[in-house]
Amino acid sequence: MSIDSVFVHKMWNDHELAKMVKGGVPFPMLSDAGGKVGSAFAVYDDEAGVEMRGRFIIDPEGVIQGYEVLTPPVGRNVSETIRQVQAFQLVRDSKGTEATPSGWKPGRITLKPGPDLVGKVWEVWKTSMAAD
């Protein structure tokens, strides 16, 4: 979503993005002229008249599980976003019985919070797991 019109979205998709991605952008390119929706999500800069690089993860109930907002010069990282969605999906599938520690990615250990784990995280989770 940006403040551009759907006509500009079409031009950008058809003339540039379709050259990067076969078939063009697969998801809807939303138009928010005036920044009303951006304001509702607190990413609209009314001085500059544009929206910041905001990314919201919204679950099947419509609940915001996470967000990230960057100023325009720095781009986001799609694999980190996908990792977070995978983590939220795992937690949801476990009905909250499992949690994903720092650095978790699919295949790595999860934690089962409870009395037995208090003070024992160091036994199962190492700082080397915090990053790739």
From the CB of 113, what's the least distance to other proteins, in Å?
17
From the CB of 64, what's the least distance to other proteins, in Å?
5
Binding mask 28-57 for other proteins (x = CB under 8 A): xxxxxxx-xxxxxxxxx-x-x-xxxxxxxx
Amino acid at 75: G
Task: Say which DSSP state 101 is in.
Answer: -
Query: At CA 29, angle to CA 26 and CA 30, rounded to 5?
Result: 150
**Contacts of residue 93, Cβ cutoff 8 Å, sequence gap at least 6:** none
d(CA 101, CA 129): 9
Q: Which is nearer to other proteins, 5 or 97 (CB)?
A: 5
2 binds other proteins (CB under 8 A): yes
Residue from the set 20, 22, 58, 97 that interacts with other proteins by CB under 8 A: 58
From the CB of 20, what's the least distance to other proteins, in Å?
13
Q: Which is nearer to other proteins, 69 or 129 (CB)?
A: 69
- CB-side exposure of 61: number of CA atoms within 13 Å? 6
Considering only the stretches 84-92, 96-104, 115-123, 124-132, report the one whose residues sit in contact with other proteins under the rule CB under 8 A: 84-92
The answer to whether the CB of 65 falls within 8 A of the CB of 88 is: yes
Using CB under 8 A as the binding criterion, the count of chain residues that bind other proteins stands at 61
